Structure 1
Amino acid sequence: MPPLPPLKALQAFEAAARHLSFKEAARELHVTPAAVSQQVRALEDRMGRPLFRRGTRAVSLTETGAAAAPVLRSAFLRMEEAARLMQTRPPERVLTVSVAPSFCARWLVPRLHRFRAAYPDCDLRLDATDALADFVDGGIDVALRYGRGRYPGLQSVLLREDEFLPVCAPSYLETVGPLEEPRDLARCTLIHLDWSMERAASPDWGAWLAAAGVSGADASRGPRFSADMMALQAAVDGQGVTLASRLLAKDDLRAERLVQLFPDRSATSSSFSLYLVFPSERREDPRVVAMLDWLQEEFARETV
């Protein structure tokens, strides 16, 4: 394939052919009429045939010029469209959500079919981790996090104030006998969750027992887990009493795999709640708006 003529020469010819005027072509290209005439003449010399008939006051296309002009015009239009596509960011379909593994497995995943039905054009990628979300280099769009909602440089939207309550399996009650007052926990195995984030505000047995006025119970003893779902499973298996998020324990409570102890006295730490966190500049991103709207609708329909 022979090399193409210079782009400036082709632009000059196309504009002059469209206007049938070197002067108007020059105005469009922001050059002088002499520069347009020079570029067209160079193109004609390269092609070995004239492209215009030059009259005293007007120019007209030769047969060759008339055949080439519309094809060249179409090529330039396609080039302009290609440039627009390169400058315009294509719409994103995938929303990457950073979410704690326990909340992901026990609450989010069982409800995702409703998100897909409501927003079929938005695909989700779930990054199940307790690590800090990297919104700059990590490809994370939004994060679901338990905490107090203070995340410098980020926007956080409160989704649900949570309660943390002591729960155990019915089989455990058969082993240790009735647990009627918080002080009865002194003879129980306490199952602990080691929170990886915001440790100072995280609900734990020491804080719960102190708030309940219980003394004589060793809040440091008992098995420890790094994830809520492991602590909940240990409780379901009858290994002791755990301090559980009402949100995460909901299905087990409903199915009576777990029972709530001291229902009149057990709520604690509503300041440690669930937030959707994202950079402020993404507040109008349609994918972020869809996720926030859906989460708010889901929590509105929750009945505990």
Structure 2
Amino acid sequence: MRLPPLNALRAFEAAARHSSVHKAAQELYVTPAAISHQIKALEEYLGVMLFKRTPRRITLTPAGEACLPKLTAAFAQMADAVAAAQQQIHTGRVMVSVAPALAAKWLIPKLAKFRDLHGDIDLRISARQTMVDRVRGELDAGSNLLEGGDVAIRLGEGHYPGHVSHKLFTSYSLPICSPKLLEGPTPLRTPDDLRHHTLLHYESDIALADVGRPTWASWLKAAGVRGINTRRGPTFNHVALALQAAADGLGVVLGVPIMASEEIADGTLVAPFDLALPTGGSYYLLHTEAAEREPSIMAFRDWVLSEARSEPWAEPKQIGSAPLLDGETGS
């Protein structure tokens, strides 16, 4: 017998287990409409109704009740089979899925320390835009949260069913610039002094990646500064480029300090003001419960947690109010 599409079976199993289309959508990181569409397609494929639908709830039909237990068990067996295969293949190897910006600006600069401690571990880094939860929902909702990794570092709200998660640090933005700008004819000493300096911006090529991130307009309003044209200054498509421009003294970027911790530590960049605005998420390290039986994976996990605990920019010193909606000028 030919099986129905796997995504349709997953959608039905999650909705039946939760007795809720919305909760199934949250678990699978898709929209409720997508879950409903998959269930309808499955019912058409099978030629039977799996749910009784009312305005407020869904309940299983006899056909749905007969299907659910075996389907839940089948998904559990598939997960065990994949874990068993990975255990054989990945002994001594750790695959880490991580957002590109965090990989480039925070994780990779620290890897020499990990190598010195665990030179026998074959560490592999996979940079993926979909490690940002709001981007994953748009681009690749069908994949699992680890996306092929033994460990994942995700930016999101921390709701990761079926996984062990550890918060690393909060994501927030504040002004960052070269120490050169603190001197000279128009030294940057108060937020109002920003009117005399170039404002640097960055916008991702993936629009959803910028959702919730503070703008210069929102930061200046939180700082009580008015009358500055927040649209002036160059825009870059990656945070690393904007931070490099700031390091070169081209202006001030509203950046995430965790991405510049190395440069701030060595004095290449400074954060002249403590006022920070949240970007709408935090960084979390994820793995499965089965991974806790793998010494190599646990060695990497423990090392990352140690680095996060010692990170001076893990939490903001002064948090401001929520950012404005895009399009507000702050003037």
TM-score range, shorter chain: 0.5 to 0.7
Structure 1 pair 235–176 and aligned structure 2 pair: CA distance change class (3 A): farther
SS at match of 2:277: coil
Unaligned segments of structure 1, at least 5 residues: 1-85
In structure 1, the partner of 2:282 is 273
Structure 1 pair 213–112 and aligned structure 2 pair: CA distance change class (3 A): same
- Indicate which of 248, 255, 259 corresponds to 2:266: 255
1:139-178 CA-partner distances (Å, limit 9, x unpaired): 3332223333345665532112244221211334456612
Unaligned segments of structure 2, at least 5 residues: 1-83, 137-142, 314-331
Structure 1 pair 202–137 and aligned structure 2 pair: CA distance change class (3 A): closer
Between the aligned partners of 2:255 and 2:163, the Cα distance in structure 1 is 28
Which of structures 1 and 2 has the bigger CA Rg? 1
Structure 1 pair 216–117 and aligned structure 2 pair: CA distance change class (3 A): same
User: Where does structure 1 differ by over 6 angstroms across 4 or more consecutive aligned residues?
Assistant: none
1:40-74 CA-partner distances (Å, limit 9, x unpaired): xxxxxxxxxxxxxxxxxxxxxxxxxxxxxxxxxxx
Structure 1 pair 204–124 and aligned structure 2 pair: CA distance change class (3 A): farther
The question of whether the paired residues in 2 share the 8 Å contact of 1:193 and 1:204 is answered with: no
Q: Does 1:222 align with 2:259?
A: no
Structure 1 residues 48-67: aligned runs within 5 Å: none
- Indicate which of 199, 218, 222 corresponds to 1:207: 218
How many residues end up aligned between the 2 structures?
A: 217
Between the aligned partners of 2:85 and 2:277, the Cα distance in structure 1 is 52
- The residue identity in structure 1 corresponding to 2:277 is T
Q: TM-score, normalised by structure 2?
A: 0.55
Between the aligned partners of 2:221 and 2:86, the Cα distance in structure 1 is 58
- The residue identity in structure 2 corresponding to 1:226 is N
In structure 2, the partner of 1:179 is 188
Structure 1 pair 120–171 and aligned structure 2 pair: CA distance change class (3 A): closer
The question of whether the paired residues in 2 share the 8 Å contact of 1:165 and 1:267 is answered with: yes
Between the aligned partners of 2:194 and 2:267, the Cα distance in structure 1 is 20
Identity %: 37
Between the aligned partners of 1:137 and 1:254, the Cα distance in structure 2 is 31
Structure 1 pair 89–238 and aligned structure 2 pair: CA distance change class (3 A): closer
Structure 1 residues 108-187: aligned runs within 5 Å: 108-132=107-131, 134-135=143-144, 139-151=148-160, 155-174=164-183, 177-187=186-196
Between the aligned partners of 2:183 and 2:117, the Cα distance in structure 1 is 45
The structural deviation recorded for 1:249 is: 1.9
Q: TM-score, normalised by structure 1?
A: 0.60
In structure 1, the partner of 2:302 is 293
- The residue identity in structure 1 corresponding to 2:278 is S
The question of whether the paired residues in 2 share the 8 Å contact of 1:202 and 1:272 is answered with: no
Between the aligned partners of 1:280 and 1:135, the Cα distance in structure 2 is 15
In structure 1, the partner of 2:93 is 94
Between the aligned partners of 2:126 and 2:310, the Cα distance in structure 1 is 25
- Indicate which of 231, 245, 261 corresponds to 2:256: 245
1:183-215 CA-partner distances (Å, limit 9, x unpaired): 222332211122555533323323222221222
The structural deviation recorded for 1:125 is: 0.8
The question of whether the paired residues in 1 share the 8 Å contact of 2:156 and 2:284 is answered with: yes
The question of whether the paired residues in 2 share the 8 Å contact of 1:154 and 1:279 is answered with: yes
The question of whether the paired residues in 1 share the 8 Å contact of 2:164 and 2:288 is answered with: yes
Structure 1 pair 173–293 and aligned structure 2 pair: CA distance change class (3 A): same
Q: Cα RMSD (Å) of the superposition? A: 3.3
**Greater CA drift, 178-187 or 126-135:** 126-135
Structure 1 pair 111–89 and aligned structure 2 pair: CA distance change class (3 A): closer
- The residue identity in structure 2 corresponding to 1:272 is G
